[in-house]
Chains A and B, each alone.
Chain A
Amino acid sequence: MIETKGISKSFAGKLVLDDISVKVEKGEKVVIVGPSGSGKSTFLRCLNLLEVPDKGEVWFEGQQTNRPGVNINEVRRKMGMVFQSFNLFPHLTVMKNLTLALTTLGLKPEEEAQEIAHGLLKKIGLSEKAYQYPSKLSGGQKQRVAIIRALALNPDVMLFDEPTSSLDPEMVEEVLKVMKELAEEGMTMVVVTHEMGFAKSVGTRILFMDEGKIKENAPPEQFFNDPQNDRLKEFLSKVLVKIV
């Protein structure tokens, strides 16, 4: 469904992504972990071309997307994205946040868009917040709304960029729960996170990134119980101690 072929990216002369080739199949839940600055967020942002790789190819649903002449807006519509900092639109109500893209892009008439929004809000138990502004929501509520804002467009894949990293600890669970439900419904997901528990229980494959490279690419059991890469062993020993 998504494939990168040898993508590289530098910022100000520093190589952030070094020749990365990854394939994500439909229905997979790929979790990307690694130390900060390892390039995992940049890699995720290359998938929907928020960052354009300097070298290499990005493919989505049988089409190379980082090529002149491709309508990137149509591609992005099928790739939902959730950010660390939520990025809800503060000047619009929750309802408007959810329906804006649908109506602006002419995908659904206003009424139908609102029905979709109400349905999604009900699913995450925030129906009563429909006509409030984002500033009235807690962090966890904001992120749940951000998730369904992306879902409103009925995407084929969801990209998560550290969705729980800026949340208070007690709100992490409610966001992860929504993500787990999404996974159970069969959504294809690529998730950059530090939540090892989530990686273990939801991930179908885990990538370990370090210094702009993928150092390990394995199913969760093997990833956690029998890691091959030395840097990963070191990384796991640190983060897993933290969990205990």
Chain B
Amino acid sequence: MVGLQNTLLISVAALAIGLIIGTLMATIKLIPSSEKLPVKVLKKIVDAYVALFRGTPIVVQLLIMYFVALPLIGLARVPPLIVAMIAFGLNSGAYVSEMVRGGILSVDKGQMEAGRTLGLTYVQTMKLIILPQAIKNIVPMIGNEFIALIKETSVVSFIAVIDLTKAFKQIGDATYEYIIPYLMLALCYLILVLGITYLLRLVERRMRRSDRD
């Protein structure tokens, strides 16, 4: 049970961190007509961030975070569970930023123009017109990201966190019987993912209502 709890805990926390970082970075990338230097620098940082976290394996990021990065800034004693949340959160942020950006860009640019010609500000148009439409595209992608996180977190035992995978491995180690624990493990992940998929479908269906009316 501790294993299941940790798997869910890490995934949820990572998604939350990812959403915050991702939305922030997507917003930076979408700042209009940015010839100003600070904005340009920020955009470069975001690009580098996305390239870095998408370009290296998550296990490597996890190991670096635990054994290199945190000790380097004097935080060697952070519990591994928290480290896992942060590592997966930072990683997720890179993916989420691309999802949010894609979702916003998929809204026809005439919508922004229509909002602005009615005298609405950029922020008002974003909030009332663009985002409500973008959300419909973003939510399914975020759901997939959550599913990916649940599965990817199966590597956290590298830094001694007991998650679902580690828990079943321990059962196997204790009984010298691996077939049933590992098949059960696979079944656990499958049930989790199918459950989440089902919930996502419900949410999506609700959101598509205005399209059918």
Give the interface of A toward B (CB within 8 A).
Answer: 48, 50, 73-74, 76-77, 79-81, 83, 85, 87-91, 100-101, 104-105, 132-133, 135-136, 149-150, 153
Q: How far is the CA of A91 from the CA of B211 in the complex (A)?
A: 7
Choose among A50, A74, A100, A104 the residue that contacts B116 (Cβ–Cβ < 8 A): A50
New A-B pairs, 10, CB < 8 Å, besides A73-B120, A91-B129: A73-B116, A76-B117, A76-B118, A81-B117, A88-B114, A91-B133, A100-B128, A100-B129, A101-B119, A104-B124
Q: Give me 20 A-to-B residue pairs in the complex whose CB atoms sit less than 8 angstroms apart, sorted by A's number.
A: A50-B113, A76-B116, A83-B113, A88-B114, A89-B111, A89-B129, A90-B211, A100-B120, A101-B118, A101-B119, A104-B120, A104-B124, A104-B128, A105-B119, A105-B120, A132-B213, A133-B211, A133-B213, A149-B118, A153-B119
B207: nearest chain-A partner, CB-CB? A91
Pair A150/B117 contact, Cβ less than 8 Å = yes
B33: nearest chain-A partner, CB-CB? A52
Pair A91/B213 contact, Cβ less than 8 Å = no
Complex interface: chain B residues within 8 A of A132 (CB) = 213
Q: How far is the CA of A83 from the CA of B110 in the complex (A)?
A: 8
Max count, chain A CB within 10 A of own CB: residue among B115, B119, B128: B119
A102: nearest chain-B partner, CB-CB? B118
Q: How far is the CA of A136 from the CA of B213 in the complex (A)?
A: 7
A229 shortest CB reach to chain B, Å: 31
Complex interface: chain B residues within 8 A of A85 (CB) = 108, 110
Chain B interface bracket (under 10, 10 to 19, 20 to 34, 35 or more): 20 to 34
Choose among B113, B120, B133 the residue that contacts A87 (Cβ–Cβ < 8 A): B113
Does B175 belong to the interface (CB within 8 Å)? no
Complex interface: chain B residues within 8 A of A87 (CB) = 108, 110-111, 113-114
Q: How far is the CA of A100 from the CA of B120 in the complex (A)?
A: 9
Pair A50/B117 contact, Cβ less than 8 Å = yes
7 cross-chain pairs, A with B, having the tightest CB-CB distances, nearest first: A77-B119, A87-B114, A101-B118, A87-B110, A81-B117, A133-B213, A76-B119
Choose among A91, A133, A136 the residue that contacts B132 (Cβ–Cβ < 8 A): A91
Does B144 belong to the interface (CB within 8 Å)? no
Pair B133/A90 contact, Cβ less than 8 Å = yes
Does B121 belong to the interface (CB within 8 Å)? yes
Pair A91/B210 contact, Cβ less than 8 Å = yes
Complex interface: chain B residues within 8 A of A83 (CB) = 110, 113-114
B123 shortest CB reach to chain A, Å: 11
Complex interface: chain A residues within 8 A of B211 (CB) = 90, 133, 135
Complex interface: chain B residues within 8 A of A136 (CB) = 213
Q: How far is the CA of A79 from the CA of B117 in the complex (A)?
A: 7
Pair B110/A77 contact, Cβ less than 8 Å = no
B117: nearest chain-A partner, CB-CB? A81
Complex interface: chain A residues within 8 A of B116 (CB) = 50, 73, 76
